[in-house]
Amino acid sequence: MAKKGGFGGGMPGGMNMNNLLKQAQKMQADMQKAQEELEAKELEASVGGGAVVVKINGKKEIVDINIKPEVVDPDDVEMLQDLVMSAVNQAIRDIDEMQKSQMNKLTGGMNLPF
């Protein structure tokens, strides 16, 4: 005769706590590995037709900025500042989207904090 109710090792749907714990540990390990891989990646964002190119890594650190000489106009510093700011912001948005996409693959779309 099978036991009913209580915590006799089983959960509804035939899942037991050990399996659930193993799955959670695997997901945690997979997420850690994915985070490390993301931190090692680099993306480039370009604005102004390539006038300013910003390279960012997965840690959201700017690793390179390339500015074409023809956009350096001493009489229009504001335009250059706007281009650099725009490129940096685009790079941050791109890396955020890449991280979100990668985490969604691992979590099956669950909205887990990372």
Domains of the chain are 17-107 (3.30.1310.10)
Q: What is the pLDDT of residues 12-63, one digit of tens each?
A: 555 688 888 888 888 888 888 888 888 888 999 999 999 999 999 999 999 9
Return d(Cα 24, Cα 30) in angstroms, integer: 10
pTM: 0.67
Cβ proximity of 60 and 98 under 8 Å: no
Q: What is the pLDDT of residues 62-92, one digit of tens each?
A: 999 999 999 999 999 999 999 999 999 999 9
Return d(Cα 64, Cα 76) in angstroms, integer: 23
